Amino acid sequence: MSIVIENVIEQMTLEEKASLCSGRNFWETKPIERLFIPSIMMTDGPHGLRKQNGDADHVGLHDSVPATCFPSGSALASSWNTDLLFAVGSALGRECQTHGVGILLGPAVNLKRSPLCGRNFEYFSEDPYLASRLATHHILGVQSQGVGTSIKHFAANNQEHRRMSTSAVIDTRTLHELYLASFEYAIKQAKPWTVMCAYNRLNGTYCAEHDELLTTILRDTWGFDGFVVSDWGAVNNRVEGILAGLDLEMPGNGGFNDANIVKAVNEGKLSMKALDDAVRNLLRIIDKVIQNRQSDTTYSQEEHHQLARQVASECMVLLKNDRDILPLQKDGSLGLIGAFAKTPRYQGGGSSHVHPTKLVSSYDAILEEVGDAVEIHYAQGYLPDSDDLDANLLEEAIAVAQKVDRVVLFIGLPERYESEGFDRLHLDIPDNHIKLLEQIAKVQTNIVVVLSNGAPIEMPWIDHATAILEGYLSGQAVGQAVADLLFGIVNPSGKLAETFPQKLHHNPSHLNFPGDGDEVIYHEGVFIGYRYYEAKSIKPLFPFGHGLSYTTFSYDHIEVNQQQISDQDTLTVAVTVSNTGNYKGKEIIQLYVHDHQTTVNRPLKELKGFTKIELAPGEQKTVSFTLDKRSFAYFDTDLNDWQVQTGDFSLYAGPSSDTLPLVCTVHVTATKAKPVVFHKNSTLGDLLDHPIVSPVVTQMMRSYGQEMGLFDDLKDNPEMMQAMMRNMPLRGILHFAGGKISEEQLEQMIDMVNGLIR
């Protein structure tokens, strides 16, 4: 039965309206049986359903129903495959329908400002373009099954340290170009049913009561029409939250905030209209959940497991492959060393923790894959719950490494190193993992390292590894995916969605993370991730977009459909790529844009397109990208809008951010020039840089200078004279003219210049 929303609102008492604005318990909204308003259930699960019953916790300490555990966000992003994100979302939506869940709490699209953030395993990328496109298809997939999503955490939730009280201090341009952009496209295009606001404050105001964030930007500018839910326990002042646009408080508050809402309405501090707006937003989505509920839905656990296996194999990234040691041949002897081989680290800790329907280790999967063709030896190597070196385990591992032809070493980050709730303090893996590798390298020269970690790590040990497969946290089918990739059943095609720095202190946020007290200032501005490393010419360990394959690709040609466009036009870019190797493989083609004429401090290049294609050996394909105004624009704080500066832009295409063999140039003309008004504190340089004003001002300066002898004392140092003149405010002319120019004449000159512009 559908809810007739306006009729229901008219019949609701003030107390009923207030009660609807908070949860019934940890996971459900309150029903109002008198008016036939049912309760709906929300659950955690960006990469897997985590349905718990009743008042079960929010932080993953208690068990949940069995569900498919797909790769976590950092792994999913490394697939760069929007179709795959849709498939995962669709599977999650089907599992939600099976278990009566109306809204899945995800995806999480916060950017990776620092590699130390404890929840980075949950987030997609350091780049807003990539994060927003992946999120869009994830949302579309879930909602194709009649289940809502809750894109989170809005906004600037980029650390766990003091996450419920700290204030992220971010300038307006950086906020729009990075930390809002990862949400904006997904909200506009995929239309998630709900948005989850973040714990933290943004520029001093809690996100749960941030009117500009939740109403001006989210609803008025972006057109969001669902409801806004708090992160669990994020509410500071419930009445201020209602006024700002926070519709639902989760979890339930025991009634005290419901009473505060009633009191505020009765005292005139909260209008009934504002409360009705929140109720209306809630009823609209509750009704949508009811209308899309499918009571007879089931799913095949095995089919979803096989999807998880396929997804994981596309998410893992081959970082290094010296001497083409991979793929491994099915012959000789092989040592499998490391506790993670039998007890995999496959998901992150905290609210996204999933109870998998099954779990396959790399040890079991490799044994099944090679059968009797390969002699397998195993050694545990280290204690998974300790950093201490165990001499007996080390000795056993060295003995195995000595007698086999090749070693696959399973190392990485234990869950105690990274989880929701705390940030990392360093980028190291446990010392006993490192020492194990170092000792094995003394007796074995063929070492393949398989990493299990949710975020970047430092690798001072990299030269000991012949090959490195970044497995991230790849879900319940991790073992089968590892076996598929090691033995060439699947060709690696993942690429990093984040930069791996050589050292932690290279990271742009290093000196300002996690901040002082309850304030963290984003001093690095728009320069995070690859934007920073390239601007500073700092070579990372592995660049954004990096990932190897068992085959090779050549980038043959790039062309555009027109060389000159306005910012109201769209531009088509065609890139031709060939498979020049011996294996069928998938390649991720990346397109970046560089602004030549910028007068604001912009990155050297920004990702503005990507696509993933499959090519057989010798096959060639041409792919197309469409660029629009936003592809060339920056956020202008004076206009409070996106602005293109007229000029040339380079378009780069290639396999990673630091390897872009194809380039072409287009000229983009801004159709809406930024308004310019000169005044007495404008500099001469400002006037000289304006294309309309410059010729007139140049002639005026020449004639006045000769007539009045301005700057005669500086003629023997023309460089100084030129610099001083360019940087001098117009009012300075009065001082240097020695009374030969009056204030009135200066004002007339300024009026004349502004008249030229008009």
Q: What tens digit of pLDDT does each residue of 202-254 get?
A: 999 999 999 999 999 999 999 999 999 999 999 999 999 999 999 999 999 99
Are residues 123 and 219 both part of a single domain?
Answer: yes
Residue 5 belongs to some domain of the structure: no
Q: Do 201 and 166 meet the contact criterion of CB atoms below 8 Å apart?
A: yes
Residues 567 and 626 in one domain: yes
pLDDT band at 757 (very low <50, low <70, confident <90, very high): confident
Q: What is the pLDDT of residue 726?
A: 82
Long-range contacts of 683-687, Cβ-Cβ distance < 8 Å, separation of 24 or more: 683/726, 683/727, 683/728, 683/729, 683/730, 684/725, 684/726, 684/727, 684/728, 684/730, 685/725, 685/726, 685/727, 687/730, 687/753
522 and 620 assigned to the same domain: no
Return d(Cα 442, Cα 570) in angstroms, integer.
58
Residue 704 pLDDT = 60
More confident residue, 245 or 719: 245
Is residue 444 included in any domain, yes or no? yes
**Going by DSSP bridges, is the β-strand pair 103-105/42-44 parallel, antiparallel, or unpaired?**
parallel
DSSP state string for 608-646: EEEEEEEE-TT-EEEEEEEE-HHHH-EEETTTTEEEPPS
Average the pLDDT over 182-199 and give the result: 98
Distances (CA, A) of 657 to 539, 717, 754: 12, 44, 43
| The domain boundary residue, chosen from 229, 258, 292 | 292
Are both 419 and 495 inside the same structural domain? Answer: yes
181, part of any domain: yes
- Return the SS3 of 373: coil
What is the pLDDT averaged over residues 100-123? 97
**Final residue before a domain boundary, out of 669, 692, 719:** 669
Q: Is residue 136 within 8 Å of residue 86, measured between CB atoms?
A: no
Domain at 34, CATH number: 3.20.20.300
Span between the terminal Cα atoms of the chain, in Å: 60
CB 206 within 8 A of CB 244: no
pLDDT of 147 reads 98
What number is the average pLDDT over the span 431-445?
A: 98
Inter-residue contact 80 to 492 (CB < 8 Å): no
Q: Tens digits of per-residue pLDDT, 467-487?
A: 999 999 999 999 999 999 999
- Structure tokens, 52: 């718990």
Residue 158 burial class via C-beta count within 10 angstroms: exposed 0-12, middle 13-18, buried 19 and up: buried
Alpha carbon distance 53, 45 (integer Å): 15
Q: Mind listing the pLDDT tens digit for each residue in 618-677?
A: 999 999 999 999 999 999 999 999 999 999 999 999 999 999 999 999 999 999 877 888
429: left (phi over 0), alpha (psi -120 to 50) or beta: beta
- Tell me, what CATH number does 343's domain have? 3.40.50.1700
Residue 745 CA to residue 299 CA, distance in Å, equals: 81
Helices (H), 407-499: 431-441, 478-486
- Render 540-570 in DSSP notation, one character per residue: PSB-TT--B-SS-EEEEEEEES-SEEETTS-
Segment holding 467, helix H or strand E: strand 467-470
Burial of 744 (0-12, 13-18, 19+ CB in 10 A): exposed
User: E strands along 306-352, which residues?
Assistant: 317-321, 333-337
How many contiguous H segments (helices) and E segments (strands) does the chain have? 23, 27
- At 532 the pLDDT is 98
Whole-angstrom Cα distance, residue 527 to residue 488?
38
Residues 6+ apart with CB under 8 A from 503: 427, 458
In the chain, the amino acid numbered 368 is: E
Q: Is the pLDDT of residue 556 over 80?
A: yes
Residue 713 pLDDT more than 60? no
DSSP type of residue 339: G
pLDDT at 716: 56
pLDDT tens string 676-706: 888 999 898 888 888 788 888 777 766 665 5
Distances (CA, A) of 678 to 200, 671, 731, 753, 758: 40, 21, 12, 8, 12
The pLDDT value recorded for residue 319 is 99
Backbone angles phi, psi at 97, to 5 degrees: -60, -40
| Type of residue found at 203 | N
The last residue of a domain, from among 247, 270, 292: 292
Burial 638-653 (b: 16+ CB within 10 A, else e): eeeeebbbeeebbbbb
The reply to whether 424 falls in a domain is yes
Taking the CA atoms of residue 433, residue 506, residue 204 and residue 220 in that order, the dihedral angle to the nearest 10 degrees is: -100
Whether residues 308 and 288 fall in one domain: no
> Do 492 and 641 belong to one domain?
no
pLDDT score of 714 more than 60: no
Please indicate, yes or no, whether residues 491 and 577 belong to a single structural domain of this protein: no
Using the predicted structure, report yes or no on whether residue 749 has a pLDDT greater than 90. no
Integer angstrom CA distances of residue 115 from 80, 147, 353, 419? 19, 32, 21, 13
Q: What is the pLDDT of residue 58?
A: 58
Domain containing residue 609: CATH number: 2.60.40.10
Indicate the range of 184-198, 415-429, 713-727 predicted with least confidence.
Answer: 713-727
Span of 417-421, 494-498, 553-557 with lowest mean pLDDT: 417-421
**Residue-number span of the structural domain to which 95 is assigned:** 12-69+91-292
User: At residue 523, what is the residue type?
Assistant: H
Beta bridge partners of 516: 519
190 close to 131: Cβ distance less than 8 angstroms:
no
Catalytic residue chosen out of the listed positions 231, 247, 258, 567: 231
- Would you say residue 546 lies in a domain? no
11-20, 707-716, 720-729 — most confident range: 11-20
- Contacts (Cβ under 8 Å, ≥6 apart) of 7: none
pLDDT over threshold 90, residue 30? yes
Residue 96 pLDDT exceeds 60: yes
Dist. CA 242–CA 337, nearest whole Å: 55
CB of 211 within 8 A of CB of 244?
A: yes
User: Mean pLDDT across the stretch 320-343?
Assistant: 98
Q: So what's the pLDDT on residue 719?
A: 64
86-117 as b/e: b if 16+ CB within 10 A? bbbbbbbbbbbbbbebbbbbbbbbbbbbbbbb
Helix (H, G, I), strand (E, B) or coil at 577: strand
Does 753 lie in the same domain as 729?
Answer: yes
What mean pLDDT, rounded, does the chain reach?
A: 94
Q: Has residue 316 been placed in a domain? A: yes
pLDDT tens readout for residues 173-189: 999 999 999 999 999 99
What does the alpha-carbon distance between residue 274 and residue 215 come to, in Å, rounded to a whole number? Answer: 12
Q: Which amino acid is at 593?
A: V
Q: What local confidence, expressed as pLDDT, does residue 672 receive?
A: 84
User: Is 231 part of the annotated catalytic residue set?
Assistant: yes
One domain, residues 409 and 530: yes
Residue 662 neighbours by CB under 8 Å, 6+ apart: 555, 557, 558, 575, 652, 653, 654
| 96 membership: H or E segment, kind and range | helix 82-98
Task: Assess whether 109 and 219 both reside in one domain.
Answer: yes
413 and 448 co-located in one domain: yes
The pLDDT tens digits for 362-416 are 999 999 999 999 999 999 999 999 999 999 999 999 999 999 999 999 999 999 9
Q: Which amino acid is at 505?
A: H
Let me know if residue 530 belongs to a domain.
Answer: yes
Characterize the bridge pairing of strands 634-636 and 641-643: antiparallel
Please report the pLDDT score of residue 606 as a whole number.
98
Q: What is the pTM of this model?
A: 0.94
CA separation, residue 100 to residues 42, 146, 295, 474 (Å)? 9, 11, 7, 26
- What's the domain count of the chain? 4
Give me the residues paired with residue 642 across strands.
635
Does the residue 161 lie in any domain? Answer: yes
Same domain, 378 and 440: yes
Residue 54 has pLDDT above 60, yes or no: no
Q: 355-369 b/e with 16+ CB inside 10 Å = b?
A: bbbebbbbbbbbbeb
pLDDT at site 211: 98
